[in-house]
Structure 1
């Protein structure tokens, strides 16, 4: 087997997600009458929270579980952030740090319930998710909050806007058009995910998801790896909550939104090539899986009503067609698993 064949084989899921994103978003860009940097920024704003929630779900799936609390935890940290972040930069910084710490702490709690309570992750996180949503409702029984408008604007636009807002610099050329969302995502990936993956705990998460018994017999601390995975999942969900707070400028304990993000996070994980069996994949693929999901939604917005397929632009029919396309995308993302006759071949 050549190096190229080996690369394609072990990265088939990510490559498929990248290809799907290229086709779908390219179609959207062609159909959009005024596509440009402003549209890209708007799309990035709508996508980043889902990416972070998908990254959170990935951690649970890697160790062979599902986390149904990622959406409620995002909502909880959003409401917490909207309370702490006030009209000064220091308060915003404190809110960001506090919300991220809260997310990690809740993820750690999830891991402890699963490990020491010996409860299946999907059941444990169903319960803890209800707790987090209840706590969010206590903090924000009605939508509210008032995040510093300048900071929220600067951190949800491009680099140029960041400089303009605080008088740091003016137009810095093409690099100034880079969305802040890409900066945040790169920081999390390069400063958190990649270093974690290289650690013993990170490799242990993959080993536990591949074969928990074999990992235990090899001397790995299975419980510690599971707790680490769910703690990092909580941190990623906290990132989603923080960004949602900056994007909306407020907090909202929206249960339907929490449920939608949870379900879409699972779809993003599968489309991104992470096996639901656990032990293979990673957050990079999930990033593109989330981009695929959002691209489907974007396309529905720009299909002309007079086109041959204009009927799909009907708001009443969009959930139906979005679901069908999503089912196709998930099926393609899981195609490798469907072809497997021996589960061990997933890890060879």
Structure 2
């Protein structure tokens, strides 16, 4: 009987490595699992380098303590708003009422916080509770009322903005200097401690039971329900957390401006979504990192700084900002898909 030809078998790369997978495969696997976070950090580093280069070209010096402090202080409201938005994005939803919640928190802080420890602590707690309550309303409309998140929060956005204007019809009020120094010290970047605190809160949330439930319903709601997860409770909790963080963002916004304005929070609804996307948060739910969202918030602020020191005409800054964001999102999405396929 003639010998049977057997096809050549390619060498096993794991055999050459003593039965272990090559190191490159582990790195690729890590990148595939954390591509959003890695790309967000890369974009942040690139934005910082570009900002320093533009700043040097304009002033012949590098940014100092003042620039660092102002950047951190100006980004803190967006960091909190974006983290709040991320809780809802994980459940495949969007919270369009974040700007309205920030408006109301801002207005209440400017009107009621006075220069006494009791007033500052009491009204800070009240504002945070109100923010959580407004988020709870959104959660009940979506989780119990079965309304679409976009429609429900778009309606409550108008309601919250109307209440904010009722509280503070015209820009005004005042924030005590002590309160401003505690939240956003204008002389030192102490607000970085709050960034670290937010990161620690996210770390605890990600490993908590409610965090696992929120991630689960974002990945597959039917499977999560079949495994005994209370999907309604998880969705309501995600909106409540969003309102709580939006209320905190409103407090930081008031402290930064040292006064109140019932309309200044409006722009944070869109930028919070942008920060989530730049931070690698999947808009289809179930995937994302709070650390990446924080990095995305700083990237968003750095873009504005870069355009300012590039002497771009203010009339065209919105155009270039939008163009940069589109390019960044497209590139990050394409690179992420490539890395996941190559795992």
State whether TM-score is above 0.5.
yes
Is the Cα contact below 8 Å between 1:275 and 1:337 reproduced in 2? no
Match of 1:301 among 295, 305, 308: 308
Per the TM alignment, residue 134 of structure 1 is displaced from its structure 2 partner at its CA by 0.8
1:112 paired with 2:140, answer yes
Per the TM alignment, residue 21 of structure 1 is displaced from its structure 2 partner at its CA by 1.1
Cα 1:155–1:266 shift into 2, 3 Å: closer
Q: How does 1:268-283 map to 2 (within 5 A)?
A: 268-283=275-290
Is the Cα contact below 8 Å between 1:79 and 1:140 reproduced in 2? yes
What corresponds to 2:14 in structure 1?
A: none
CA offsets 1:178-234 (integer angstroms, 9 cap, x no match) = x221111222332x3222221211100000000111111111110111011111111
C-alpha separation between the residues in 2 aligned to 1:85 and 1:23?
A: 40
CA offsets 1:16-70 (integer angstroms, 9 cap, x no match) = 1111111112111232225101110011111111111111111111011011011
What corresponds to 1:292 in structure 2?
A: 299
C-alpha separation between the residues in 2 aligned to 1:131 and 1:184?
A: 30
C-alpha separation between the residues in 1 aligned to 2:133 and 2:204?
A: 20
C-alpha separation between the residues in 1 aligned to 2:28 and 2:338?
A: 18
Match of 1:45 among 54, 66, 73: 73
What corresponds to 1:323 in structure 2?
A: 322
Per the TM alignment, residue 333 of structure 1 is displaced from its structure 2 partner at its CA by 3.2
CA offsets 1:73-108 (integer angstroms, 9 cap, x no match) = 111111112222112122111121111111111111
1:222 paired with 2:231, answer yes
SS at match of 2:102: helix
Q: How does 1:68-87 map to 2 (within 5 A)?
A: 68-87=96-115
Q: How many corresponding residue pairs?
A: 314
What corresponds to 1:10 in structure 2?
A: 33
Is the Cα contact below 8 Å between 2:217 and 2:286 reproduced in 1? yes
Per the TM alignment, residue 337 of structure 1 is displaced from its structure 2 partner at its CA by 7.2
What corresponds to 2:216 in structure 1?
A: 207
Q: How does 1:44-193 map to 2 (within 5 A)?
A: 44-157=72-185, 179-190=189-200, 192-193=201-202
Instruction: Tell me whether 94-103 or 36-45 shows the greater mean CA deviation.
Output: 94-103
C-alpha separation between the residues in 2 aligned to 1:181 and 1:297?
A: 19
Instruction: Tell me whether 197-206 or 2-11 shows the greater mean CA deviation.
Output: 2-11
SS at match of 2:172: coil
What corresponds to 1:245 in structure 2?
A: 254
Cα 1:243–1:258 shift into 2, 3 Å: closer
C-alpha separation between the residues in 1 aligned to 2:151 and 2:73?
A: 32
Q: Which runs of 5+ in 2 are unaligned?
A: 1-20
SS at match of 1:152: helix
The higher radius of gyration belongs to 2
SS at match of 1:276: coil
Q: Which runs of 5+ in 1 are unaligned?
A: 162-176, 306-312
Per the TM alignment, residue 154 of structure 1 is displaced from its structure 2 partner at its CA by 4.5
Is the Cα contact below 8 Å between 2:307 and 2:317 reproduced in 1? yes
C-alpha separation between the residues in 2 aligned to 1:207 and 1:3?
A: 25
C-alpha separation between the residues in 1 aligned to 2:335 and 2:219?
A: 16
Cα 1:7–1:270 shift into 2, 3 Å: same
Per the TM alignment, residue 155 of structure 1 is displaced from its structure 2 partner at its CA by 3.1
Instruction: Tell me whether 239-248 or 147-156 shows the greater mean CA deviation.
Output: 147-156
C-alpha separation between the residues in 1 aligned to 2:253 and 2:267?
A: 14
